[in-house]
Amino acid sequence: MDESSPRAVTMRDVAQAAGVSVSTVSHVVNNKKGARIGKDAWERVQRAIEELGYRPNAMAKDLVKGRSRFIGLVADAIASTPFAGQIIRGAQDEAWRHGYVLLVANTEGNEAAETEALAMMLEHKVRGVLYSAWYHREVELPAGLTETDCVLVNCFASDSDIPAVVPDEVAGGRQAARMLLAAGHRRIGFINTTTPSPAHDGRLRGYREALDEAGVPFDPALVVDARPDQEGGFEAVGRLLDRGVTGVFCHNDRVAMGLYDGVRERGLRVPDDLAVVGFDNQEVIAAHLRPPLSTVALPHYELGLAGVRLLLGLDEPAPGGRVAVDCPPVHRSSVTAAPPG
Amino acid sequence: MDESSPRAVTMRDVAQAAGVSVSTVSHVVNNKKGARIGKDAWERVQRAIEELGYRPNAMAKDLVKGRSRFIGLVADAIASTPFAGQIIRGAQDEAWRHGYVLLVANTEGNEAAETEALAMMLEHKVRGVLYSAWYHREVELPAGLTETDCVLVNCFASDSDIPAVVPDEVAGGRQAARMLLAAGHRRIGFINTTTPSPAHDGRLRGYREALDEAGVPFDPALVVDARPDQEGGFEAVGRLLDRGVTGVFCHNDRVAMGLYDGVRERGLRVPDDLAVVGFDNQEVIAAHLRPPLSTVALPHYELGLAGVRLLLGLDEPAPGGRVAVDCPPVHRSSVTAAPPG
DNA sequence: ATGAAAGCGCTAACAC
DNA sequence: GTGTTAGCGCTTTCAT
């Protein structure tokens, strides 16, 4: 609480109090190695800093150095899912590790908000910006983006060469199918999403690859599309059960949750009558369904982290400019051995 | 993408290109009203800005004006629930409306991270900081907080006079109980949390007040404590059903989700055999359970919004320094009339 | 109607 | 070892 703003204490105040010059203060504040400062002056400065409660002015510092320590992060949906939150966490952790601070902007997909956010970031002379989406998809980039370094997180722009870090959907789909295959299932349903997307195509491909790998013939009748939420999962149950499926891979955990309901409604049980695997590893759902859901995790934290590493030039962008991050399987209790036969 | 950093374009560049002085440029950039600039010079400046792609340097601007346009927001859990996200949204929307930008820091409750975040904010000379918690609780404040203006969001510190904005738990509890009462229920169970907290006490009090209001005697046997998650709800079902309850108010939506499972396990149905009301209005759960859950919304967006208004002095702090925000009921399909008798 | 010049708090040569 | 000084990009009197 500043009582009537008694003017913030500056480096000059410290210098004066310690009886030294500002450059001496600057040296001790920044712990400059090359600088030879007398042990005695050093201590006087430290004490003055303590006593006056001096805080360096980051803006003055950045101004003189010509660049700021900000990294912008624009997110299209910060509250509807935990996904953006994880991206932010990952990005922030890595950014801080390198002395950077995140400038977060939530745009809710609103174009005006996006432009405003970008302008704000550009005016703060950010080191670069991370442009992220809450679900993996292609995006068209806002104009201002080309004015700074940029990396796309959980999204991509096919017509540009901007580096992007995205989840490896096909490897994820493979993992999901393998969990079922490993338990001995052979008739494995797949509830895919109705939304055209990398997730739709990638996971399907992964599912097919895993089937091939295991020598199980692909049966198109076993894959059905449904809205990627609980209602979609619920409605898909009948179709799948009719086809003699013993396990099903759901496009996401919400679908799996709806599917649980449908299974129960028919007096059946997970996993004994039907084994199920989800996708996303959305904690509130997956870890607390009955039984807890085996699923494949979407690596949002790692996506954010990898995004800043790429931006900062700590990692080399992959040849195609696209970095694919792994989706690890998470084993819980919704998969058991297939019934014999 | 800066190709080999050709030095950012500054106001001087614009001035030069337009054949005017920097102060003239400054005036047109900021649309200064008192300044009389010739229509002609004005246009030359505009054009130069366009052509050079000039962006004002926010840091230089803030530096000279002595204060920044940042508002710090420290959150203790940005990804585990959608709650922090909503707070951020509310705070950002209101902040932007007044020309401020949010400096978000996620601390995951880690004290070192908190100190670091605060130092970062202080060094950026934030206008003030919003200190928030993902669930309503008492907090002990990090040291640095007193160095700046501050308001607590979704939390409070009893020994200080720092203004706080929190949800009105008792009014919320009242709303929840009333939904059941209004449908004719008289034996209403309450699954409260095992965690001592404002939510625990407030919602219980609201529940009792609503009962009183309706002339229904309070029966202590009808309130049970349980872990505030699905498992807690599941386990509480038996206890409540034994006591002849026809409706139950759950401490939160996750508990309600677990309770649904328990009810089904007994071959019973929501809402016909048991009406249920949740709390939080956590979209993924409440809107997609079968049947969709009637609940009471926690006003996180409004909390964030009110927080910045308080910080900016746009609203007066309530007499006690604590602002209570309303928790509105959300009617869906988990409550119907009580069975006769 | 427009420009010159003095700083804002700090860093980095360079002087002593 | 420590001090002096010239800016960083901008706003803002105060001249003209």
Distant-in-sequence, close-in-space partners of B295: CB < 8 Å, separation ≥ 6:
B176, B253, B256, B277, B278, B279, B280, B281, B286, B329, B330, B332
CA of B65 to C1' of C10 (A): 15
Largest CA distance in chain A: 89
Residue of A nearest to B80 (CA): A82
A216 in Cβ contact with A249 (< 8 Å): no
What are the chain A neighbours of B269 within 8 Å (beta carbons)?
Answer: none
Torsion A138-A143-A144-A149 (CA) sign? positive
Q: Which helix (H) or strand (E) holds B119?
A: helix B111-123
* Contact assignment for A125 to B58 by CB distance below 8 Å: yes
Query: What value does the mean pLDDT take over residues A129-138?
Result: 98
Looking at residue A36, its pLDDT comes to 81
B165 in Cβ contact with B310 (< 8 Å): yes
Q: Which helix (H) or strand (E) holds B180?
A: helix B169-182
Rounded average pLDDT per 10-residue block, chain B, 341 residues:
65 95 95 85 95 96 94 96 97 97 96 96 97 97 94 95 96 98 98 98 98 98 98 97 97 98 96 98 98 98 98 91 96 88 59
Looking at residue B341, its pLDDT comes to 59
C-alpha dist (Å) from residue A95 to A101, A128, B68: 6, 11, 22
Looking at residue A339, its pLDDT comes to 75
Looking at residue B211, its pLDDT comes to 98
Distance CA B19, CA B15 (A): 6
Report the length, in residues, of chain A.
341
pTM: 0.95
A88 in Cβ contact with A73 (< 8 Å): yes
Tokens of B229: 């998650």
Residue B132 backbone phi and psi in degrees, to 5: -125, 160
Query: What value does the mean pLDDT take over residues A244-258?
Result: 98
Distance CA A187, CA A171 (A): 20
A72: nearest Cα among A110, A117, A39, A38: A117
A50: nearest Cα among A6, A9, A100: A9
B299: nearest Cα among B120, B111, B83, B104: B83
Looking at residue A317, its pLDDT comes to 86
Looking at residue B4, its pLDDT comes to 46
Q: Nearest CB to B254: which of A96, A261, A288?
A: A288
A179: nearest Cα among A293, A310, A45: A293
Torsion A59-A61-A67-A72 (CA) sign? negative
Residue A153 backbone phi and psi in degrees, to 5: -125, 120
A28: nearest Cα among A53, A47, A51: A47
A131 in Cβ contact with A154 (< 8 Å): no
CA of B36 to C1' of D16 (A): 15
Q: Which 8-state DSSP code applies to residue B229?
A: S
pLDDT bucket at A67, cuts 50 / 70 / 90:
confident
User: With a 7 Å cutoff on the CB, does B196 touch strand C?
Assistant: no
Looking at residue B5, its pLDDT comes to 57
Query: What value does the mean pLDDT take over residues A308-331?
Result: 94
A303 in Cβ contact with A165 (< 8 Å): yes
What are the chain B neighbours of A89 within 8 Å (beta carbons)?
Answer: 78-79, 106, 108
Angle between helices A230-242 and A253-265 (to 10 degrees): 50
Residue of A nearest to B93 (CA): A106
* Contact assignment for A88 to B106 by CB distance below 8 Å: yes
Tokens 């995790």 belong to residue: A297
Looking at residue A3, its pLDDT comes to 43
Looking at residue B81, its pLDDT comes to 94
Q: What angle do CA B149, B152, B157 make, to 5 degrees?
A: 105
Q: Which 8-state DSSP code applies to residue A150?
A: E
CA of B28 to C1' of D15 (A): 20
Q: Which helix (H) or strand (E) holds B295?
A: strand B295-296
Distance CA B199, CA A281 (A): 28
Query: What value does the mean pLDDT take over residues A275-287?
Result: 98
Tokens 């919704």 belong to residue: A334
What are the chain A neighbours of B288 within 8 Å (beta carbons)?
Answer: 229-231, 254, 257-258
* Contact assignment for A284 to B57 by CB distance below 8 Å: no
Tokens 């939080």 belong to residue: B280
Q: Which helix (H) or strand (E) holds A83?
A: helix A83-97
State yes or no: pLDDT of A5 exceeds 70.
no
How many Cβ atoms are within 10 Å of A272's Cβ, its own excluded?
11
Looking at residue B183, its pLDDT comes to 97
